[in-house]
Structure 1
């Protein structure tokens, strides 16, 4: 074999290698791209540090992880249940199927007009994933989604869960916020006072003196002390009620807020922990002009006309105006005599 033949053969071999290299790298890039456009889930959500959600009407939500908690818009503690649902969706979302080609144009238009943009961040300045969530399918079991930078939309769902996962991302304003009124470890409570301005004899102050020792006395000096023995364990049972007391809703936008705040409250609850942090809630029955009394048969507070109180407005020391349910807070709406007797 002469020199010319060797050179031609060498060029041919090199050409095959080059073509193969380009081809296989192209195929590899295509596979990576195919995987990227389908890979919506973040399997390890513990690595997420920030979630940014933008609505088409301009409203935005920023959720940032600070230690074990999430903050909403840099100011408020995020509602744990809302975050659990969101993170569950982020972790478990999967493609259910590829929509028919004939429907893709309408789906893309829907995503452009109604899509919620979601950016997921770990430690860096750039999001690890960005995708858009459109409307739900007709049977509400899936939702249209598309990865940022790609053209192919998909119908996605959470395996084993029936529902439209868009709702987990589509909360607005106060719906993201933690609705806790009181949340204190009973062993970390230093004192509690409950004032009933219209029932002074039921008002009291409870103060921890050390360990399981408590001083419980009337809130008002004019109220005589009860000549009865202390009921063992009553203080501990009462304090357990403050572990988790959550409002039904925020009512910061209600027109009645300012006028309600001018009324004498039915009750003022003040809790101070061992670190000196004080939390206060003023309770106003939904019918605030009624005279309240305790029904000894049911243990419920009732109005003078016999109607049962089901809800209260709450003026919270955080500045929020909230709505609470009597059935949730009844366990701490105790009177001075609760702690005494046989």
Structure 2
């Protein structure tokens, strides 16, 4: 941070020299932001001037980790790699706005370091805010005092939001990733409708048994294909957001009073994976489109994972894995 301040403090002098002696050409090393071969990128470090930091490390061709703790979102990694590959200089910063842009970058920026297998970054640059028309983003290379307006040809917008520094926003949203042959048992418990709760056993054998958790009754006219189709849904179930920043008092109240259902997966090795869903209370006085009281959100719920993460989930995703007991009966 101190190094950046020193660089920015000298920028007034640099601006004078730059614009006084400018001949119409700019040295390549002053504007060489993009990374041509992102397949060789092994790590990315991002830090803003508010103390937020994330370290992204490639573990395999398709797996990245954030801060050595969590697998990352594949879409976020694809986006940042695509950005550093395709972004280009749109224009130098004009003489009239030069000092103002330098001041803006000093006040608010994200430092980006790109690594390719070594301890020293191959490229370091600072990402500032957007231009007034929001079609460009101010950036400056390390050891340079010349900022540029960057963009991606054909993309109309700014790029700064792609270089975010919040750990939880980088985390993979994957909740269940089970292949059918690795699932032994699924139990779904409905706290509000216990008569609909069910348990499926012997899934891995593809000769499943479905029974009511409340009565122990087994479905005799079982639709085996429906059961296997249902179990296959657990290959790709995601949460929407992490909500670990929800205040503890409110979280505890939701966990105590708003339970809706739980899903527990047991794999072929006996490992259990329990997820519990809770209704999401609406602000007091909320109404639906017809003016009726709406105490709970109709689109989203909260959830608690086996690792203790409090998350936000969507009904349309979880409706796929929370059918009623009769769903598995042959018509």
Question: Same fold judged by TM-score > 0.5?
Answer: yes
Q: Distance in 2 between matches of 1:308 and 1:60?
A: 33
The more displaced of 178-187 and 307-316 is 307-316
State whether structure 2 residue 221 is matched by structure 1 residue 244. Answer: no
Q: CA deviation at 1:156?
A: 0.6
CA contact (8 A) 1:118 1:132 kept: yes
Q: How does 1:137-148 map to 2 (within 5 A)?
A: 137-148=131-142
Q: Distance in 2 between matches of 1:306 and 1:147?
A: 51
Deviations 1:176-213 (A, max 9, x none): 21122222223332221111234332111112355432
State whether structure 2 residue 119 is matched by structure 1 residue 130. Answer: no
Structure 2, unpaired ranges of 5+: 1-25, 283-293
Q: How does 1:104-119 map to 2 (within 5 A)?
A: 104-119=98-113
Q: Distance in 1 between matches of 2:297 and 2:126?
A: 47
Q: Distance in 1 between matches of 2:201 and 2:133?
A: 57
**Other-structure match for 1:266:** 260
Question: TM-score, with normalisation over the residues of structure 1?
Answer: 0.79
Give the alignment partner of residue 314 of structure 1, picking from 303, 307, 310: 303
The change in CA–CA distance for 1:209 and 1:330 in structure 2 (over 3 A counts) is closer
CA contact (8 A) 2:66 2:167 kept: no
State whether structure 2 residue 200 is matched by structure 1 residue 190. Answer: no
Q: CA deviation at 1:169?
A: 0.3
**Other-structure match for 1:59:** 52
**Other-structure match for 1:224:** 217
Deviations 1:293-328 (A, max 9, x none): xxxxxxxxxxxx998843221011121011111111
**Other-structure match for 2:318:** 329
Task: Report the count of equivalent residues.
Answer: 293
Q: Over aligned residues, Cα RMSD in angstroms? A: 2.4
Q: Distance in 2 between matches of 1:324 and 1:177?
A: 15
Q: Distance in 1 between matches of 2:246 and 2:189?
A: 25
Q: How does 1:174-213 map to 2 (within 5 A)?
A: 174-208=168-202, 210-213=204-207
Q: Distance in 1 between matches of 2:256 and 2:270?
A: 28
CA contact (8 A) 1:64 1:70 kept: yes
CA contact (8 A) 1:201 1:223 kept: no
Q: CA deviation at 1:264?
A: 6.6
Structure 1, unpaired ranges of 5+: 1-32, 289-304
Q: Distance in 1 between matches of 2:156 and 2:68?
A: 32
Q: Distance in 2 between matches of 1:61 and 1:86?
A: 13
Q: CA deviation at 1:283?
A: 1.0
**Other-structure match for 1:338:** 327
